[in-house]
Amino acid sequence: MNPLSDELKQAFERAAYSFNDWRHHGGSERLLQVGSNPKHFTISEVCNLVMNFDDEKLPDRLLGFLLNIPDMTRADLKEALGRSRTYHAGAALLREMVSDQHAETSGTSS
């Protein structure tokens, strides 16, 4: 398996911080650029890209940030992230929190 590119690592870090901003300020899911690709990706799409790689370790600061995002419904994914400390596990957690945010937003706007 190919290693995770620096561009995708940077995009995932931006996705994590963007999620937290989106969660607190609302609006549409944030769009991010990955490297020089002219297409913009949603946080979920960035997570899906990252999940193609499973054994790259997260930097400690990003791991700590993800583990400290308040979320009581994803304890299983947080535990998996704490054990593996990988981008793959971080992306799985973040993708599910994005899904939860969409559900919460659509549930409160009806």
Task: Specify the 3-state DSSP secondary structure of 74.
Answer: coil
**What pLDDT shows up at residue 11?**
93
As a whole number, mean pLDDT of residues 8-33 equals 87
Pick from 101, 77, 104: which is nearest to 91 by CA? 77
Residue 83 has pLDDT above 80, yes or no: yes
Identify residue 34 by its one-letter amino acid code.
V
pTM of the model: 0.86
Identify residue 103 by its one-letter amino acid code.
A
Q: What percent of the chain has pLDDT over 70?
A: 94
Q: CA of 108: how far to CAs of 26, 65, 81, 87, 92, in Å?
A: 12, 27, 29, 31, 25
CB 107 within 8 A of CB 70: no
Q: Where are the domains of the chain?
A: 6-102
Using the structure block, give the residue that is written with the tokens 């940077």. 10
